Amino acid sequence: MYSKTVMDHFKKPRNVGEIEKADGIGQIGNPVCGDMMTIYLDIEDDVIKDIKFQTFGCGAAIAVSSMLTELAKGKTLEEAKKITNKDVAKALDGLPKNKLHCSNLGADALHAAIKNYEDRKAGKVMPDDNQEDKHEHDHDEKCYCPYCDAELGDGQTFCKSCSLSEEEPA
């Protein structure tokens, strides 16, 4: 099901943990979705000196987090902003179709953390404000309902026909 690279990053995730006084924090996903990811950045001269993550999620989500931190480490913010979800999936030698959704969390969380750093610098947010949960889809990388593989539109996390309840119980 998973590529060797995915399994390697799942079994030995790189850069796990929290950075005590992080310069930027990005959090994305929620348990409803099944995945939650927090990215911590330590930034010096607009370069990502250190990056750590915490993830609640499936094997793919953990591997994506790990790979993402590897890709971002040492990069300038401008470079890091260009990392896409597709890059992460590619670096992992691909992900199963119904996991592409999860993989989309990775770059989103990184970008959220960078934005958090920039917003703090601009005085827009207090250091411990949490970033909003946002889950947009790239237009080049389609996103699929984790339930039925139907293609999802922007912002959707499940396709409509897979909504849970049949009818209000009597």
Partner 1 sequence: MGYYNLDHINFKHLVPEASQAMIDAIKAEYGNPSSQHQKGDEAREVLEKSRETMARLINAKDPREIVFTSCGTESVNMAVKGLAWARQDKGKHIVTCNTEHNAVIRSLRRLKQLGFQVTSVPVDKYGVVNPQTVKRAIRESTILVSIMHANNEIGTLHPIGEIAAVCREAGVAYHCDAVDSVGTLPIDVEGLGIDLLSFASNPFYGPKGVGALYIRRGIGLWNLLDGGAQENRKRAGTENLVGIVGMAAAAEVAMRDMEKRIEHYKSLRRHFLAELPKYLEDYLINGHPEQCLPNHISLSVRHVEGESIVLMLDEQGFAVSTRSACASGSLRASHVLLSTGLSFADAQGTLVISFGVDTTTQIIDKFLAALEESVKTLRAISPLYAAAQKEKAGK
Q: Which residues bind ligand FES (CB under 6 A)?
A: 29, 33-35, 101-102, 105, 146, 157
Which residues have CB under 8 Å from 21's CB, separation 6+? none
CA distance 64 to 99: 10
Residue 101: strand, helix, or coil:
helix
Nearer to partner 1, 124 or 150 (CB): 150
Nearer to ligand FES, 48 or 107 (CB): 107
Nearer to partner 1, 16 or 91 (CB): 16
Q: How far is the CB of 3 from ligand FES (least distance, A)?
A: 17
132 binds, among ligand FES, partner 1, none (CB under 5 to 8 A by kind): none
Q: What is the dihedral of CA 113, 150, 7, 5, to 10 degrees?
A: -80
Q: Is 159 a catalytic residue?
A: no
CA distance 128 to 18: 14
Q: How far is the CB of 79 from partner 1 (least distance, A)?
A: 26
**Helices (H), ranges, 21-158:** 59-72, 77-81, 85-91, 100-121
Q: How far is the CB of 7 from ligand FES (least distance, A)?
A: 18
Q: How far is the CB of 134 from partner 1 (least distance, A)?
A: 17
Phi/psi at 100 (5° precision): -60, -35
Which helix H or strand E contains 6, and what residues bound it?
A: helix 4-11
Nearer to ligand FES, 5 or 157 (CB): 157
Query: Binding residues for partner 1, per CB under 8 A?
Result: 1-2, 7, 10-11, 13, 16, 18, 27, 30-32, 34-38, 53-59, 61-62, 98-99, 101-102, 146-149, 158, 162, 164-167, 169-170
Q: Is 148 a catalytic residue?
A: no
Residue 49: strand, helix, or coil:
strand
Active site residues: 33, 102
